[in-house]
Amino acid sequence: MKKIKTLIGTAMLAASLTACDNKPKETNMEDPYLWLEEVEGKESLAWVEDRNTETYARLKEDSRFNGFMERSLEVYNAKDKIAYGSIRGDKVYNVWRDSKNTRGLWRMIDLEEYNAGKDTWETILDFDKLAADEKENWVYKGRDCYSETGRCLIRLSRGGTDAIVVREFDMKTKSFVEGGFSSPESKQYLAWYDQDTLMIATDFGPETMNDSGYPRQVRLWKRGTELSTAEMIFEAPKTDTFSFPTASRRHDGTYVGVLHGPSFFTREFNVMVEGKLTKLAISEHAELTGYMGDTMILSMRKDWIVGSKTAKAGTLVSVKVSDAAADTVENSLATVYAPAEGASIDGTSIGKDRILVNVLDNVKGKIIALHMKEAEWISSDINLPANGTVSILSNDDSTDEGFLGYDSFLQPDTVYHINAAGETKAIKSLPARFDARDLVTEQKFTTSKDGTKVPYFVVRHKDTKMDGKTPTLQYGYGGFEISIKPGYLGGLNMQWIENGGAYVVANIRGGGEYGPSWHQSVLKENRQGAFDDFIAVSEALINSGLTSPKHLAVRGGSNGGLLMGAMITQRPDLYNGVICAVPLLDMLRYHKLLAGASWMGEYGNPDIPEERAYIEKYSPYQNLDSAKDYPEVFFYTSTKDDRVHPGHARKMAAKMFGMDKPVLYYENTEGGHAAASNLKQRAFSDALQLVYLMQKLQD
């Protein structure tokens, strides 16, 4: 990975470097810890090594550490895991990881044999062997296949970063194509234009990446030519968020084009019409779900009024591509599905003649099927268990065969095969990983500061005494319209429950649990509402008698790490432990670090005075107060996280050290934004966190 350019001048950097002891020395600079933003700087990495050594001495040397790690690995590497697959025609494809295949095997099996539970998998590509042969720390990041030729674009990352290399692979020969398409390492996107041409958005050189570090140009790259000679078909302003190629290749039509995001939550749709890239007359607040014949299927984030018609926020709508290209949208704009009050669309997948929609109803899932009948969309419920989380695992657009999933906090995953007629049959179930007979799950609601009703789930032992002594771990996220749903407990959460703890998931605003409005209500200047929701859940847990501040810890990562930062600085009295993972914390500089500029639609722009004014009120890094008492915080991140800059966690930890506040810090030297690139690293992280929680809440 290329080192990021230092963000301060050489003289300032030299002046700010401090001894890497437990308390970095203060200087007269506005930010004395800015030097920690140099990701792979010698001094920065020395500081990280010292912090890791301290954390290992405290957590790794605990007598429980090895047992916790082995228990997680037992689950992650289990031979009886479900091999989740994607259907393409009569084949099922899967990437399998276990103790032997830590990087994974890409393999395939006949659909009939998969449904019958047979183990007749055929290996296509062994990523462990590839990494060993090439002496590279390859992490598989996905593929894009051209089904007619059996050629695939394989995405590979060094150490789990978002930056990837892309190489053409032939499924028939099970080998990379000699002289085939191969793009250099970059944050990049590719799609097949035709079998001999790619659409590619990558780093083409100076000024071709935007302020967020993503490509701003899309070019046509013909087989056998140099990448530098590729024809540019689209270029976005440097300040815009993203631009990437798209391709839909179905039995009933092919559409290729460019999806452009002026901001994180707005879209412009461009489709090739008669060889010309044409901007479609589609609302910037629509999300493209896909195509069905000559029709686009869109999910609306805000109301879209076109003449006498209105496409409501939170609904699924359709419009003919030809009308969108000719700016005659009103001719064909129609509602496909509108969820009832209290429900929201959580996912959509388009098959051959059917659309599957994942619906959340008060954070509990169901799946409906939509068919066109006599020019109207007809919905029908799919037969799956209730009161849990459902998912569309795979939906083949050539056959309408698919796989659906169901699980809950206490019920293991089950995979259902759904046929073209909509009939479902359970074909695979995960064995129970823990004894759930004495456990219960409750969904509760509490009232936030502004009167909003906020749902949360509690998983606990059924005989829990409401005496305020139950060790409790509360989790939250609250951002980017991402819904946090019940899922079978594993790894850290499973062991926490096994060791007598209670686990809580707070469905705070900022997520998508109740549709776009649930997210949009706490954007930018209203961000405090998400923090207030999380605080309200914590207070409800304490007032119910389940736990008390002495026995309550909280955990969150990425945007959830920002949430944790707000809990540290705003309500330190509520918690005795905080796990803050791959976090955003310096919100006055987040937009200058890695992909941060792309999130200004969520948080605001600190360079605009009126927006800076509300951001600095909650920005955790700036709101630390040496006069306050804080719970001990466990920060963890990754050196290879090229999405959320590790400088956030480094600087916050260093500043707290400098204030003599209790801090633990761990930084994995690889792993990307997930902070773990394989199952062993994930189990290692589980064990560190579990020991920390046991020490804080139970010992």
Q: Over the stretch 49-86, which tens digit does the pLDDT of each residue have? A: 999 999 999 999 999 999 999 999 999 999 899 999 99
Burial tier of 627 (Cβ tally within 10 Å: 0-12, 13-18, 19+): exposed
Query: Tokens in use for 498?
Result: 């096994």
Cα–Cα distance, 637 to 650 (Å, whole number):
9
State the pLDDT confidence band at 322, using cuts at 50, 70 and 90. very high
Burial tier of 283 (Cβ tally within 10 Å: 0-12, 13-18, 19+): buried
Measuring CA to CA, which residue among 87, 80, 89 is closest to residue 117?
Answer: 80
For residue 344, is pLDDT > 70? yes
For residue 287, is pLDDT > 90? yes
pLDDT for 339 equals 96
Contact status, residue 578 vs residue 554, Cβ threshold 8 Å: yes
Three-state DSSP class for 474? strand
Contact status, residue 550 vs residue 529, Cβ threshold 8 Å: no
pLDDT for 463 equals 95
Could you state, in order of their start, the residue ranges of all structural domains in the chain? 42-72+438-586+620-697, 339-432
Cα–Cα distance, 481 to 545 (Å, whole number):
31
Measuring CA to CA, which residue among 684, 682, 683, 661 is closest to residue 24?
Answer: 661
Q: How far is CA 49 from the centre of its chain?
A: 28
Can you tell me the mean pLDDT for 547-559?
A: 98
Q: Does the active-site annotation cover 461?
A: no
Q: End-to-end CA distance of the chain, in Å?
A: 42
H/E stretch holding 695: helix 679-697
Q: Over the stretch 596-650, which tens digit does the pLDDT of each residue have? A: 999 999 999 999 999 999 999 999 999 999 999 999 999 999 998 889 999 999 9
State the pLDDT confidence band at 674, using cuts at 50, 70 and 90. low
Cα–Cα distance, 90 to 188 (Å, whole number):
31
Cα–Cα distance, 304 to 198 (Å, whole number):
33
Q: Does the active-site annotation cover 673?
A: yes
Who's near 47: CB < 8 A, 6+ residues apart?
A: 20, 24, 36, 650, 654
Contact status, residue 615 vs residue 587, Cβ threshold 8 Å: yes
Q: How far is CA 490 from the centre of its chain?
A: 18
Q: Over the stretch 412-430, which tens digit does the pLDDT of each residue have? A: 999 999 999 999 999 999 9
Who's near 172: CB < 8 A, 6+ residues apart?
A: 150
Catalytic residue selected from 283, 448, 558, 685: 558
Q: Which CATH class is domain 42-72+438-586+620-697?
A: alpha beta
pLDDT for 321 equals 97
Residue 89: Cβ within 10 Å count:
11
Can you tell me the mean pLDDT for 231-240?
A: 96
pLDDT for 669 equals 81
pLDDT for 676 equals 62
Q: Over the stretch 9-42, which tens digit does the pLDDT of each residue have? A: 322 222 232 333 333 333 335 899 999 999 999 9
Measuring CA to CA, which residue among 650, 635, 589, 593 is closest to residue 46?
Answer: 650
Cα–Cα distance, 398 to 88 (Å, whole number):
8
For residue 545, is pLDDT > 50? yes
Measuring CA to CA, which residue among 38, 42, 11 is closest to residue 650?
Answer: 38
Can you tell me the mean pLDDT for 76-97?
A: 95
Can you tell me the mean pLDDT for 191-211?
A: 97
pLDDT for 13 equals 27
Q: Over the stretch 125-166, which tens digit does the pLDDT of each residue have? A: 999 999 999 999 999 999 999 999 999 999 999 988 999 999
- DSSP state, 24? P
Catalytic residue selected from 285, 519, 648, 673: 673
pLDDT for 26 equals 37
